[in-house]
Chains A and B, each alone.
Chain A
Amino acid sequence: MAAGAILEIRGLAKRFRARAPGAESPWIIRDLSFSVREGELLTIVGPSGAGKTTLLNMIAQTDTASGGEVRFRAQVAPLGDAKALRPGLSRQIGYITQDDNLLPWRTCLGNVLFPLEVQGRLDGQTRARAQSLVEAVGLAGFENHYPHELSGGMRKRTSLIRTLVYDPPVILMDEPFGAVDAQTRALLQADLLRLWGEGRKTIVFVTHDIAEAIALGDRTLVLSRAPASVKSEHLISIPRPRDIGGILTRPEFVTLYQAIRAEVA
């Protein structure tokens, strides 16, 4: 295991069950390897359908790998056997999925409190933390709204802080800002950087927006088209704290952007 790596992926492979018996199903992911350091913000870009969501599902242990190894600290995810999976590895890995997956029967605040409630950790202190997170992402005043009464961006923010509230050391994010307009997106990105700066979590952030990947990440991985593997790796040395708005015109940014752009196309 590489020094300081909290998460290590080695030769990972995935294919789904064939639709018809006897038929061959294609490899979605093949021979994919990388590792994530503690406290790092790793971004992953790749074309749509490359297998990014599938990769995060295997790291979060909501799906099984067909081959290779996913290692979190010393724990290796089981291969093939869905029943042996431990989703979230006892709340060590948080996962903000591509769809917001809010519970429609709970209010905004109710959704944020949900993990605390099921973990039996809901008390005055954690409740206050939830409230401060709600305020930090600008949802104050909407605590009692049901998901269908929130805008798409508000739902995204709710799902974001729902994971932050229980403070898992590693957080996987699957295009968390995918379906929002450019301005809201910039605000959410700034929020994320600020929250990450305070807490220094390990974050694996999937997106297909190259600019976002560069603006947020310490390092960016580029995935190839299916069967996905790591096509290239870019260290991003733009100093922090970063100004999301101003970064776009910096020369380092432009160089990186063009390099990655050429690889993804």
Chain B
Amino acid sequence: MARRSEVETGGAVPAPAAQRRSQRLDQALELVFLLALWQVLSLWLGTYWISSPLATLAGLFRGLASGELLLHASYTAGEAAIGFLVGGIPAAALPFALRRMPVMTAILDPFMVGGYGAPKLALAPLFILWFGIGIESKVALVGVTVFFIVYFSTLSGIRALDTRLVQMAQVMDANEHAVARHIVFPGAVPYIFTGLRIAMPYSIGGAVIAELISANRGLGYLVQLRAMNYDTTGIFVALAATTCIVFLGNWLVNALERFLLRWRPPADAMLQADA
């Protein structure tokens, strides 16, 4: 029997190694250049206007050591994470529930499109009015923002269902429940993840905006507080911490996706990551 002893996993043609190396070098040089420019600017204009890279780094370590930064970061990350779940889970579940109800889906459609297009961040003051300045208002804002993004990506996953696979399963006597569980759901997961990947920065952004407007903790609050004290270095530190959370969130979603979608051919996965 013809067999392949090894399985090819490589996809795209890699750039020549030498070219890649010189590109790395360029990038490193540029990083040094940017940092130097930043340092010079801060020396020239004064730290009142621009914090220096060294001061920012020092502030970051000081904030981490005292635990203050971690505390605020954990509030922001917590708000974003809870809102992500509160909005994301129903958004991913609803299209499955609606799968056999085309009329209901059609009825909901203009409302969902409206909700998707509406400027949800403008709801921040309303949620603060309703839920106060604590975590609830942030969770609500993040949840609403995430909901519509994930709803539409999940819906498109269900619409893209390969009906031949469903027929195959039905011939094998799979019932409705088995079809949903073994075919519709796994097929929709890549689409759900596309939604999650898009929604991730929005969730942290939403939490930060609500904190900027009114809060007594969180990184957005920290930025606002330090701006009021004209503590430019402090602002830079808080911004750096926020950026770190965004990267961490992206990394988490990507890692989870890589794990759950390891069945996908690598070229396909790469395309998805680029989109």
Contacts and interface: CB of A to CB of B under 8 A. Distances in A.
Contacts of A118: 169, 172-175, 178, 182
A149 interface: yes
Interface residues of A, number: 39
Interface string A99-133: 10101111100000011011100000000000000
A158 B253 CA distance: 33
A60 B9 CA distance: 36
Most A C-beta atoms less than 10 A away, residue of B1, B170, B187: B1
B100 interface: no
B168 interface: yes
Contacts of A184: 1-2
B37 interface: no
A102 to B, nearest CB: 9
A249 interface: no
Given A103-B186, A104-B264, A106-B263, A151 B4 contact: yes
Contact of B2 (A62, A104, A183): A183
Interface in A77-115: 87-88, 90-91, 93-95, 97, 99, 101, 103-107, 114-115
A153 interface: yes
Contact of B1 (A138, A150, A163, A166): A138
Contacts of A261: none
Nearest to B9: A149
Contacts of B264: 104, 148
B2 A114 contact: no
Contact of B263 (A94, A101, A104, A187): A104
The CB with the most chain B CB atoms within 10 A, among A105, A114, A154, A187, is that of A105
B104 interface: no
Interface in B50-92: none
Interface in B1-17: 1-4, 7, 9
A145 B173 contact: no
Contacts of A119: 172-174
B263 A97 contact: no
A138 B4 CA distance: 11
Given A101-B164, A119-B172, A166-B172, A187 B2 contact: yes
A91 B169 CA distance: 10
Given A114-B172, A118-B172, A151-B4, A103 B167 contact: no
A90 B174 CA distance: 9
Given A183-B2, A184-B2, A187-B1, A91 B173 contact: yes
A112 to B, nearest CB: 12
A200 to B, nearest CB: 21
Nearest to B173: A91
A62 B172 contact: no
B186 A62 contact: no
Contact of A91 (B2, B172, B262): B172
B167 A62 contact: yes
Contacts of B174: 115, 118-119
A146 interface: yes
A94 B164 CA distance: 15
Nearest to B2: A184
Contacts of B170: 62, 87-88
Contact of A145 (B2, B7, B178, B261): B7
B171 interface: yes
A114 B171 contact: no
B182 A62 contact: no
A149 B187 CA distance: 18
Nearest to A157: B1
B165 interface: yes
B46 interface: no
B67 to A, nearest CB: 43
Contacts of A154: 4
Contacts of B9: 149
The 4 closest A-B pairs by CB, nearest first: A138-B1, A88-B171, A87-B170, A118-B174
Given A88-B171, A104-B263, 12 more contacts: A88-B173, A94-B172, A101-B165, A106-B263, A115-B174, A119-B174, A138-B1, A146-B263, A148-B264, A149-B7, A151-B2, A184-B1
